[in-house]
Amino acid sequence: MTIKISKPFTIWIIGPSASGKSTIAKELYKKIQNQVSKLIIIDGDNIRDLFDNKYGYDKISRSKVTKRYIKLVKWLQSFEISSIVSVISPFEKDRLECKESLIGYRQVYLKCSMEKRLSRDKKNLYKPALEGLKKDVIDVDIPFDQSNINDLIIETDKHDIEKSTKKIVENIK
C-alpha cells in the first residue's frame, strides 16, 4: 500500500479520553511506517510527561499545551518528519490554529459514546468526575467542541481497531 501525500504531513487524532486515540495511533503507525521515510507518534500523555507536565487540565492550560504540540510538530516538520498526533484537543479555536500552522494537516475525530468510554476508562477519570469528585474532565465539566474541520469521523464504539485504522489509511492516500 503506497501513501500518496505531500510530505511532511500531520494526522491529528482527536477525541475525549478513552475514545481510542493512542491505540489507533499506534496501529496506524505500524500500518504506514514502511511507506513514510520519517514518522513519529506524538501522544498527549507521553508529551506531558516528557515536559514535566507543568500545565494543569483547565481550559487555559489545555490550550497552552496544544500550542506546545504545534511548536513541536512544526519543528519536526522542518526536518521533514511526519507526525501522528493523538491528543484530546477539545477546543475548535486550537484545532483551527493547527490546521493553519501545520503542513499536510488531517484531522480525525474519534467519536465514542460515554458508556463505552466509561468501560475503557483506565485512568479512572469519568466516574469521579460524573460524581462531582474530579474537575476539569473533558466531556463532563469542560465541553468538547464539535468540529467543522474534521477530515474523517470514526465511531470507535462501533468499529474495531482494524477497521478504524483502515479508514484512516484510505483517507490519507
Which sequence spans correspond to the domains of the chain?
10-172
Residue-wise pLDDT tens digits, 114-124? 999 999 999 99
pLDDT at 23 over 80: yes
pLDDT for 7 equals 76
What's the CA gap between 151 and 44, in Å, rounded? 20
E strands, the chain, where?
A: 10-14, 39-43, 82-86, 105-111, 152-155
Model pTM? 0.93
pLDDT for 126 equals 97
First CA to last CA distance, the chain? 9
pLDDT for 43 equals 95
* Contacts for 72 with CB less than 8 Å, ≥ 6 apart: 42, 47
Residue-wise pLDDT tens digits, 66-87? 999 999 999 999 999 999 999 9
Summary mean pLDDT of the chain = 92
pLDDT at 147 over 70: yes
Homologous superfamily of domain range 10-172: P-loop containing nucleotide triphosphate hydrolases (3.40.50.300)
- Helix, strand or coil for residue 142? strand
Per-residue pLDDT, averaged over 23-31, amounts to 97
